[in-house]
Structure formats: structure tokens, C-alpha cells
């Protein structure tokens, strides 16, 4: 099985402001960040320069035998379009990268024009972190951007507020743009009330759910996350195994666990069949994101073995 990570992050530097609150590295040579006024371990402690690069991730991917990854964006990362296009061009067989319009936080009337520029640059997906937007995020301009994406065959990556707060707007987008391919992140915020309302969106033909951050959401329970396995099975009962994908939310999640641990709680589970694991960890993401031939990564023994 050649594994695909459907939700990860990359950046050269994080120095941004979200809703008036700064997010930036703490100096000198520290992997921690100032995050909305608090000191947070944003990166594993050995990333002392604050750079979460493709090459470092590839080293983790090769070690953990993950063949490819989908690189998403978030406001708290800062805008990474320039770097991610370089990554996409340098490693086209290993990464699918989302672009993100610069004025998205302000829901400006330039969204469609910005999205068109990103598409012309070569991005095959546009990210909308709706959970960090006003609850009513679906403006006329936003819908216009969705129509553009549908026409151009561009994939929408989106995370929604907890529960059903924004599900109605997603239903409206799906109705207006039935051919738009959608990947909904964070497994519907699975540990929050009403999470299944987001999962049920995947009953629509072109809507998928990815589990980026599921180990963070079940962090209190911790590895091997038996409740996460039960939630994955519950979601599959609602929408089918062909609509669910694994995502790690690298690198923030690997401050608590290793990268391999972010998926091997699935491979080691006795509650899932081999076919279910293959769909969740590989086949569904390969189909949705259009990965071709995937690199074969043999297992390399540790010095401690």
C-alpha cells in the first residue's frame, strides 16, 4: 500500500496577523511561536530555525513510507503561495499544493480575480479556511469563485466551524456547483457536537472528508486513539469507505507523536479490514487529487532494532 497524506502544511517562515493577533516565531533559534498572545510549541523542538520545508517533510515521508502528500494552507501559516508553487514544481510526483487568495480573510470582491491568477500559476486547488472566517462566509463573490473553480476543474479544500454552523452554506455551494470537487478537513471537527452533519456532506458525489488533525482532536485519549477508529467507522457507515481520507496535519501534530504514529494507529487496528485501510490511507486520495505513479518506499530498519 502506497500511503497518501491528504492534509499537511509547509512554510519557509510564519510571521502573520490573524484577526488582529500576531503569530510569529520566538527568537533566537526556538521552535516555539507567539500564537494569539500565548507561547506555543508550533514545531517539533529540533526545527530551531522555524522552517517547515519540503525537504524536511520528504525526509519524514520517506522514513514513514508515505509516498505523497497534499499541502493545504491556513491563515495561521501566513500566505505561502510563492513557496508552495516552487514545491509543486520541484516535486510534482510527491506533492499536491493548494493556493489561497490573499484577500480571503477580508472576503474582498477580488476573490475570483485572485483565484484566477493562482489557477494560471498552476495551482489545482484553492483553500478556504471557513472556520476562521465570519460564520456567514458565503458572499456573492465567494460563490462566483466557486463557479470559476467548478468550470476550471479546481478542487476546493475547506474547513468548517464546529457542528452545523456553516453546513447550510456548503449545501448551497454544492447545489450551485454540483461538479465542484470538495475536500472537507479535520474530519468534521469530530470531537465537537454535531460533527456528523459535516460528514454527511460527503453523501454528495464529489465531496470527500479528510482526517487532518484527528490525532490532535483525540489527543486527550492519545495513541492508539481507539475512539478515532470508532469515529472513522461511524463516518464510513454514513457515507461509505470511498469518501474518507487520512490526513496528518503535519507538522503541528508531530510535536506530540511521530509522523508514522499519525497513521499507523489505522494500519495496526484490528477493527478495520485491509480493503478499508487501503481506501482510507491511499486509494481515495489518489483518485481525488489525481496522483499518478507513486514512489515505492521500502522499510528501513532503525538503529535501535
- Using DSSP bridges, classify how beta strands 125-128 and 155-158 pair: parallel, antiparallel or unpaired: parallel
Give CA–CA dist 120/132, Å, rounded. Answer: 26
Tell me the residue ranges of DSSP E strands in the chain: 3-8, 16-18, 21-25, 33-35, 38-40, 66-71, 95-99, 125-128, 155-158, 182-184, 207-210, 244-245
Q: pLDDT digit of tens for each residue in the chain (305 aa)? A: 999 999 999 999 888 888 888 888 887 666 778 888 888 888 888 888 889 999 999 999 999 999 999 999 999 999 999 999 999 999 999 999 999 999 898 877 889 999 999 999 999 999 999 999 999 999 999 999 999 999 999 999 999 999 999 999 999 999 999 999 999 999 999 999 999 999 999 999 999 999 999 999 999 999 999 999 999 999 999 999 999 999 999 999 999 999 999 999 999 999 999 999 999 999 999 999 999 999 999 998 899 88
Q: CA separation (Å) from 191 to 146, 168, 179? A: 29, 20, 30
Q: What is the pTM of this model?
A: 0.95
- Residue 226 burial (CB count, 10 A): 13
Amino acid at each position: 500500500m502506497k500511503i497518501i497524506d491528504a492534509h499537511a502544511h509547509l512554510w519557509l517562515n510564519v510571521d502573520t496577523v490573524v484577526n488582529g493577533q500576531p503569530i510569529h516565531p520566538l527568537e533566537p533559534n526556538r521552535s516555539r511561536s507567539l500564537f494569539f498572545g500565548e507561547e506555543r510549541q508550533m514545531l517539533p523542538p529540533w526545527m530551531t530555525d522555524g522552517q517547515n520545508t519540503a525537504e524536511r517533510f520528504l525526509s519524514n515521508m520517506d522514513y514513514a513510507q508515505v509516498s505523497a502528500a497534499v499541502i493545504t494552507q491556513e491563515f495561521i501559516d501566513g500566505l505561502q503561495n510563492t513557496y508552495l508553487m516552487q514545491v509543486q514544481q520541484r516535486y510534482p510526483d510527491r506533492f499536491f499544493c493548494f493556493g489561497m487568495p490573499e484577500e480571503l480573510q477580508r472576503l474582498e470582491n477580488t476573490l475570483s480575480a485572485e483565484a484566477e491568477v493562482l489557477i494560471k500559476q498552476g495551482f489545482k486547488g484553492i483553500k478556504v479556511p471557513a472556520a476562521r472566517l465570519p460564520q456567514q462566509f458565503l458572499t456573492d463573490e465567494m460563490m462566483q469563485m466557486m463557479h470559476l473553480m467548478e468550470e476550471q476543474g479546481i478542487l476546493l479544500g475547506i474547513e468548517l466551524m464546529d457542528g452545523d454552523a456553516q453546513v447550510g452554506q456548503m449545501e448551497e455551494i454544492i447545489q450551485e456547483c454540483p461538479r465542484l470537487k470538495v475536500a472537507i478537513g479535520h474530519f468534521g471537527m469530530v470531537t465537537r457536537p454535531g460533527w456528523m452533519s459535516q460528514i454527511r456532506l460527503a453523501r454528495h458525489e464529489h465531496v470527500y472528508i479528510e482526517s487532518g488533525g484527528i490525532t490532535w482532536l483525540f489527543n486527550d485519549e492519545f495513541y492508539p486513539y481507539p475512539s478515532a477508529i470508532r469515529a472513522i467507522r461511524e463516518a464510513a457507515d454514513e457515507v461509505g469507505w470511498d469518501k474518507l481520507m487520512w490526513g496528518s496535519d503535519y507538522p503541528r501534530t508531530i510535536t506530540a507523536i511521530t509522523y508514522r504514529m499519525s497513521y499507523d494507529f489505522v494500519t495496526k487496528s484490528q477493527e478495520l479490514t485491509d480493503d478499508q485501510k487501503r481506501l482510507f490511507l491511499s486509494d481515495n486520495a489518489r483518485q481525488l487529487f489525481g496522483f499518478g505513479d507513486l514512489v515505492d518506499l521500502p522499510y528501513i530498519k532503525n538503529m535501535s532494532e
